[in-house]
Amino acid sequence: MSSDGAKVRAVAAEVLDAVVSGGQSLDTAIAKNEPRVAAGDRALLRMLCYGSLRHHWRLQSWIDQLIEKPVRKRDRVVNALLAIGLYQIVEMRIPDHAVVSETVEATRVLKRPKMAGLVNACLRRFSRDNMAATAPTDEMSEWNHPGWLIQRVRKDWPADWRAILTANNERAPMWLRANAAKNSAREYCDRLAALGIDADTIPGIPDAVRLAKAHPVNELPGFEAGDASVQDGAAQLAARWLLRSLPARDNGKPLRVLDACAAPGGKSGHLLEAGGDGLELFAVDNDEARLVSITENLARIGRDATLIAADASKPEEWWDGHPFDGILLDAPCSASGVIRRHPDIKLLRRESDLAGLAALQAKLLEALWPLLLPGGCLLYATCSVIAKENDEVTGHFLKTHGDALENDVLPNNNIRDLMRRKACGYQILPGSEGLDGFYYAALQKVKVS
């Protein structure tokens, strides 16, 4: 009977193969396979999968040196198992002999016992020859990114591309959003400290709490009561940025705000927490299943909104004809700013995707702009660092719309050092103060005489 250690490594190899060879997202592959692993081994499963994907190109370059020819297609899961084994030797505090033993045994769990000798020989040779100390064979194995993404980031960020790629390969910290209606970020840090959980705040992002170490949400004080939510600090800029850019209402009626492409609802929840009773929120998403997550998130924090299952780019199918004071367009994008959290993006995203994404972003801007009141603000946001999806999209929009003007005033001066000014809008680079990479541009609608 195989050990639990061998089984978790075998399952990790199957997850890795599902991403690398099968094109599945990491979240999907883990969700399908995690129940096969004992509860106590699930953290290890995730660590093996996430880590091996972060270092994919370097690991594969070593595999290519260790074996004479690629494994057959039907045995490609063994290639993934080798990557899992090499990752453990290089990055994890597990004795080499234990890594070799458990990984070799995993070939039997995978019903590939004839491959045990190959796996054993490769891992032992890797350790014996200290191959981890060898220089990378090419740029992709040096930076653990696909070539096209390296070139794109270098072109868009000539002074920062190395820092961006390095940050992409690191683990992201866990960020929380303190519910301002219930407690401040500082107060929530004090509550965490009382439980022995280290955390701190960041100037300029008033509700953000950064944990020194990730914790399950059921260990966080008041989480189920809505006192805090999980949300990256950079993503938390959206709600307060939009609210500060909205026109004042003198008739006592709440401001009408649209959250387009709203799922899973983190920004919707923040808008409602920060806007309070002065806000009437409408959240649109074209995935009905994902709207369920918005419902659940809003219920937990004790808020509600009008949820609409529809394509945000086709308002003629869902809009009630009443214009909005503000619109948050969290546009679909390459997600190149959140690779730390989703390392599979490096393998699943293609350069050819960018043109289609940019076209969709422009289409959404065109469709939603007529829904905005004069004097209102549309905040365009992506979790991308690629100019083709960011300032090139918003810059073109401004050039072609006489009633659009960029509001380039930051929501507060404390974030000035975090923000990189673009031709239009602002960028936070991944890793800055532990934040994800986000782009924002506030587009104000002006009256045209």
User: Which residue numbers are catalytic?
Assistant: 383
Q: Which two tokens stand for residue 188?
A: 């929530």
φ, ψ at 327 (rounded to 5°): -135, 130
Write phi, then psi, for 438 (nearest 5 degrees).
-135, 145
Residue keyed to tokens 């975090």:
418
| Beta carbons within 8 Å of 31's beta carbon, 6+ residues apart | none
| Residue 307 phi, psi (nearest 5) | -100, 135
Helix axes 4-20, 26-33, angle to 10 degrees: 150
**How far apart, in whole angstroms, are the C-alpha atoms of residue 274 and residue 104?**
54
Specify the DSSP class assigned to residue 401.
Answer: -
Residue 230 has phi, psi (to 5 degrees) of -85, 120
Radius of gyration of the chain (CA): 24
- Please confirm whether the linkage preceding 203 is cis (ω < 30° from 0): no
CA 12 to chain centre: 21
- CA nearest neighbour of 205 among 225, 178, 167: 178
